[in-house]
Amino acid sequence: MIRKWFVPALALAVLFSVAPVWAAQSVAALPDTAFVNQHPKLSDEESDHKQHKGKMTRKDFEAYRLERLKELAAYFGIKSEGKTAEQLKKEVEAAKVANKDKWEAFKAEHHAKRLEQLRKIADEHGIKTEGKTAEQLREELYKLHGGKGRRPHKLEDHDRAIEDKKDKQKEQKNQV
């Protein structure tokens, strides 16, 4: 009976003796809170970090966003000169709510443009486009390129990690 409890008791004693050291190291490794609060407004050198998917810098993305807002403002007849992106965004949102029919027409126009782009790409790849929706064309292009774009390998890695975790848990149970 004593042998059964000796190893777990010894493990707990070692764990409790090491815990204060780990806690001190983790507190020392924490960043300064003032620096964390300023994170979005770091120096110009660090603000050029690339966004993951589009490989745009933050400045490029903000310029792109402003151009899209200006395009929307022009469609709704809003003057955009001398306005910040936030002011423009508020006015465009108000115009969307006020002119729902115009907003729906704008969305339909852009969906049609996207469909034409997909048809052009599909034609270049030898895919027939007659009578197909944008979703169908996207799916065929996805299959043609071997699944690039949706990153299924990440899901496989995720599933593999879950299986590895289950295997480790089984091994630990077998050892005890």
Positive/negative CA dihedral, 100, 102, 107, 112: positive
pLDDT of 38 reads 47
Beta strands in the chain (DSSP E): none
- CA torsion through residues 167, 171, 173, 174, sign: positive
Quick one: pLDDT at residue 150?
A: 47
What is the pLDDT averaged over residues 29-33?
57
Whether the per-residue pLDDT at 83 is higher than 70: the answer is yes
pLDDT reading at 161 higher than 90: no
Candidate from 21-35, 104-118, 135-149 with smallest mean pLDDT:
21-35
Task: Report angle CA 168, 156, 54 to the nearest 5 degrees.
Answer: 130
pLDDT tens figures, 37-48: 544 554 544 555
Count, in order, helices (H) and strands (E) of the chain: 7, 0
pLDDT in tens, 40-75: 554 544 555 555 556 788 899 989 999 999 999 999
Q: How confident is the model at residue 171 (pLDDT cuts 50, 70, 90)?
A: confident
Which of 72, 47, 70 minimizes the C-alpha distance to 60?
Answer: 47
Residue 101 to residue 112: CA distance in whole angstroms? 16
Q: Provide, rounded to the nearest whole percent, the portion of the chain with pLDDT above 70.
A: 70
Query: What is this structure's pTM?
Result: 0.48
The number of CA neighbours under 13 Å toward the Cβ of 49 is 9
pLDDT, tens digit, 9 for 90 and up, residues 106-141: 999 999 999 999 999 888 888 888 999 899 888 888
Per the model's pLDDT, the better-predicted residue between 32 and 57 turns out to be: 57
Q: Has residue 97 got a pLDDT over 70?
A: yes
Check whether 151 has a pLDDT greater than 80: no
Domains of the chain, residue spans: 54-98, 100-171
